[in-house]
Copies of this chain bind each other. A is one copy, B any other.
Amino acid sequence: MTEWMGSTHTVLDYGFVRLVDSMAKDISVVNSARVSFGKSTESMTPADVQLIRFLMEHRHGTPFEHNSFMFHVKCPIFVAREWFRHRMGSFNEYSGRYSEMIEEFYVPDWEDMRTQTGKPGSYTFEPIDDEAVCAHIDSVMTNAYESAWNTYQDLLSQGLAKELARSVIPVGAYTEFYWTVNARSLMNFLSLRLGQDAQHEIRQFAAACETFFEDKMPITHGFWKDNGRVAP
């Protein structure tokens, strides 16, 4: 039985982002930037707020690193693969070498089924508005996942090691991981993964992460947003 600590945002059909723990206060930005004065405060003055704005606008990034967010994420493997490209953070993921893979697979909602047009560097996506096509896609994907899972179970029943049998599991299967990251690296992740170029699916997960960031460091989040969501 799983009991989650912390609040959880559900994302897509089986995914979620939850904040397990954090050490994240706007005041840490001020104190680390003001180390020069050898003092630290617990409450923010208007001048402190303006300092955060200044640091954000002038891309002084290091004061935004003295904090930490520990997330627990469940998402499709193809989303996790993009996520793990972000090297400034810590990951621990579910392993298909030692445990059975998770029998949950991503099938997009019909309104998220889309077609891609354009050229490299300027793709655009249009919804597939035809219900018959959506139904076909839904059915084909569901069958493919079911077939892959049955093959996986067959391979396991033949005695094949989990680490080999997983070869047939599709990248639409869900996985889970812990991700610990500071606000500077998180802002960089969000700026890239909330952007127009990012795939719709990872944008939903990034949006969930953003709500936790906004909740814990509202002043930092506000100036980051004002600044075009560019990471300092």
**A21 pairs with B32, CB closer than 8 A:** no
- Which residues of A (32-56) have their CB < 8 Å from a CB of B? 32-33, 35-40, 42, 54
Residue A120 lies at the interface, judged by CB distance under 8 Å to chain B: yes
User: Contact flags (1/0) for A112-128 with B, using CB distance below 8 Å?
Assistant: 01111000110101001
**Inside 8 A of A113's CB, which chain B residues have their CB?**
160, 164
**B167 pairs with A42, CB closer than 8 A:** no
**Inside 8 A of A68's CB, which chain B residues have their CB?**
23, 67-68, 180, 182
Quote the shortest CB–CB distance from A65 to chain B (angstroms).
3
Known interface pairs A68-B68, A170-B171; 11 further A-B residue pairs with C-beta atoms within 8 A, sorted by A's residue number:
A21-B28, A32-B92, A65-B180, A66-B92, A77-B81, A78-B166, A108-B164, A140-B155, A141-B167, A148-B170, A166-B171
**B85 pairs with A91, CB closer than 8 A:** yes
Select which of B21, B91, B105, B154 is within 8 A of A25 by beta carbon.
B21
**A2 pairs with B39, CB closer than 8 A:** yes
Residue A63 lies at the interface, judged by CB distance under 8 Å to chain B: yes
**B94 pairs with A38, CB closer than 8 A:** yes
Quote the shortest CB–CB distance from A159 to chain B (angstroms).
4
Copies in the complex: 4
User: Contact flags (1/0) for A71-106 with B, using CB distance below 8 Å?
Assistant: 010101110010011010011111111110000011
**Inside 8 A of A164's CB, which chain B residues have their CB?**
108, 113-114
Q: Which of A78, A85, A167, A177 has the most CB of B within 10 A?
A: A167
Select which of B94, B148, B158, B171 is within 8 A of A35 by beta carbon.
B94
A-B contact pairs, 28 of them (CB 8 A): A1-B39, A20-B31, A21-B25, A23-B70, A28-B70, A35-B178, A36-B95, A63-B92, A65-B180, A67-B68, A76-B167, A78-B96, A81-B84, A84-B84, A113-B164, A114-B160, A115-B159, A115-B161, A116-B162, A116-B163, A128-B159, A133-B159, A137-B160, A140-B154, A143-B151, A167-B170, A168-B170, A169-B171
**B159 pairs with A40, CB closer than 8 A:** no
> Top 3 nearest A-B pairs by Cβ distance?
A167-B172, A65-B90, A68-B68
**A40 pairs with B5, CB closer than 8 A:** yes
